[in-house]
Amino acid sequence: MAAVRENLKEMVAKKDGIEEQIKALISVLETQNGVGMNGALLDSEGFPRSDIDIYAVRVARNQIIRLQNDHKALMNEIERGLHEFHAQEREERGIESDMLEKAEEVSSAVRSFAAINSVASNSPAEQAGLCVGDELIQFGSISCDNFRSLQDIGSLVQFSIERSIRVSVLRSGHRVDLTITPRRWVGRGLLGCNIVPSRVN
């Protein structure tokens, strides 16, 4: 069990490192006149834009995509590690409860960091299945472990226009997994819902 625990700790540390790299690269894109992941690199006449560093933007975009893929694969490994950890815990009584709680936090299975308090009709949020009262426990790469402010969600949405984002919510005590695609629509914003931070007890 000790080997499984150490492996989990290493994967969690690696996950945190990937998330920090993604945030740093998003900051690079933010400095390029808000070009983001999908902004045009050519001007209206078909020439490379002179107001941004096109090479830096391309490098940052490619690295973000690679890191997002690495993050997804790592989260799958963590999930498998958690299953193994729980299996061994049932066989070997006396496991430290705080380590088990930390592993469950990494899986973002029960802790919410924000909630939905309004959903507009015919919006991307409504079409994705989000409902008022849903508690967010995972929004793309954002979980209770790395959530700092609503700006984290806003940045991820801005850089994910027309790209699907995996979302997990708690609804009436049950986990519900959804997929939402930020896009421009007739209403306000890219999601059509209002998100507020969860209350800290």
Alpha carbons 97 and 88: distance in angstroms, whole number: 13
Cα 3 to Cα 156: distance, rounded to the nearest angstrom: 35
Which residue is listed with tokens 């999601």? 191
* Among the listed residues 37, 32, 66, 65, the one whose alpha carbon sits nearest the alpha carbon of residue 49: 32
Instruction: Write down the mean pLDDT value for the chain.
Output: 86
Of 37-41, 145-149, 163-167, 170-174, the range with the highest mean pLDDT is: 163-167
Q: What percentage of residues in the chain have a pLDDT greater than 70?
A: 89
Type of residue numbered 101: E
Q: What is the pLDDT of residues 16-55, one digit of tens each?
A: 899 899 989 988 888 988 888 888 999 989 999 999 999 9
Nearest CA among 129, 149, 156 for reference residue 196: 149
What is the C-alpha to C-alpha distance for residues 185 and 85, in angstroms, rounded to an integer? 44
Q: Are 105 and 113 in contact (CB under 8 A)?
A: no
Give the H/E segment covering residue 91.
helix 54-91
The model's pTM: 0.47
What band does 93 get if pLDDT is binned at 50, 70 and 90?
Answer: low
User: Between 107 and 165, where is the model more confident?
Assistant: 165
Rg (CA), the chain: 19
